[in-house]
Structure 1
């Protein structure tokens, strides 16, 4: 039997088609591939070149994208729970309305990423670079951010309930109507962050500079 060919640059895979089994270990060149609705659950795509690829509405549960090039890749509407994106280049990627519960984004480069209305509960953002990320109305409850950079981002309406946000930078980030209920904020920086209607109820280890900002916003200090 002749094996199924691997998808290549510009490949189009029809919606809801399961990708060939031989694809589940490819490191190849898949830039601009079109694979909406495909099933790549548990696939190994370590180091794959997926620049500008379309993986919208895909099943990516437990898929491994470690060190993959995901520059401007589209994941909108995909299920990425427990996915692995360690060290991936995700500059300008689109991850709107995804489910990425307990996914691992350690050391990922996520500058200018769009991740609105997504579910990132319990996800890991260890030393992740997310400058100017747009994550409006996303859910990061119980996620872990350590040494993460979220400066200049738009996180309005996002939820960080019981999240750990330690040694991280949120300077100049828009946090209007954002919720940090019960979050651990140890040694994180919020300099010049916009805090209109931001909820810090029950937050722990609130840095002194942030405490002053909160009090000033509440009118407790001149």
Structure 2
């Protein structure tokens, strides 16, 4: 009988297969694809470097968890609580994070490509160099967060709340930000090429040195925004 062994990168180590994890007593660097964590209380659980692809984590309570380097692509995290978690370099590609709470978490270098984050809460997060490209971020709340050098290209961010967040150096190619709350946010040196910012609230928002090629600010509500040294501003921002 042939037994398939899946090589998995253990975070910070060489390539090797992960051992099958215990669903009742989870520990780091294990394979949990056979588990169902729906509604489980997993407070402070350490799942660092673990394989959780496609796993059901709906409504799981996981405050202060460790998901660093974990693989959660296609995982179901709807309504899960991940407040205060460490999830740097975790892979959430195509995961369902509908109304998931990630407040005060560290998600530097995490991958949310094509993930569903509709209505999710990411307030106070640290997410340097995270990838949100092609993700559904409608109605997401990302207040007072550090989101520097991130990739938001072609994300859907209608009515996103980014109040007082630092988005400097991030890329927003073809992003829909219609109706977004951008008060006191920092887009310094960000690239908003082709971004749609119609109806946004822009109060003391900083766009210093940002690229605005082909962006649109139709009906944006502006109060003292900073467009110093912007590159290629659209006509509706250029005053004679």
- Could you state the TM-score of these two structures normalised by the residue count of structure 2? 0.85
Q: Answer yes or no: is the 8 Å Cα contact 1:24–1:40 preserved in 2.
A: no
Deviations for 1:53-74, whole angstroms, at most 9, x for unmatched residues?
0011000100000000000000
Partner of 2:233: 206
> Which residue of structure 2 aligns with residue 27 of structure 1?
54
Shift of 1:7: 5.4
Please list the CA deviations of residues 35-64 of structure 1 after superposition, one character each: whole Å capped at 9, or x if unmatched.
Answer: 010100010000000000001100010000
* Structure 1: 4+ residue segments shifted above 6 A: none
Q: Distance in 2 between the 1:4 and 1:105 partners?
A: 31
Match of 2:192? 165
Residue 217 of structure 2: SS of its match in structure 1? Answer: coil
Post-superposition CA distance 1:93-141 (Å, at most 9, x none): 0000000111000100000000000000000011000000011000000
Tell me by how many angstroms 1:4 deviates.
Answer: 1.4
TM superposition shift of 1:29: 1.1
Name which of 40, 47, 60 aligns with 1:11: 40
| Aligned-partner Cα distance in 1 for 2:20–2:56 | 21
How many residues align structurally?
A: 211
1:218 corresponds in structure 2 to: none
Contact 2:67–2:86 (CA<8 Å) still a contact in 1? yes
Q: Which residue of 2 aligns with 1:89?
A: 116
Q: Over aligned residues, Cα RMSD in angstroms?
A: 1.6
Report if aligned partners of 2:52, 2:75 keep a CA contact under 8 Å in 1.
Answer: no
2:74 is aligned to 47
Match of 1:145 in 2: 172
Partner of 2:107: 80
Map residues 129-144 of structure 1 onto 2, 5 A cutoff.
129-144=156-171
Unaligned runs of 5+ in 1: 216-220
Instruction: Tell me the CA shift for residue 209 of structure 1.
Output: 1.5
1:121 and 2:140 matched: no
Looking at structure 1, the residues matched to 99 and 92 of structure 2 have their Cα atoms a distance apart, in angstroms, of 14
The answer as to whether partners of 1:4 and 1:20 remain within 8 angstroms in 2 is no
Question: Which of the two has greater helix per residue?
Answer: 1
1:59 maps to 2:76: no
Unaligned 5+ segments in structure 2 are 1-18, 24-34
Residue number among 154, 168, 171 corresponding to 2:181 in the alignment: 154
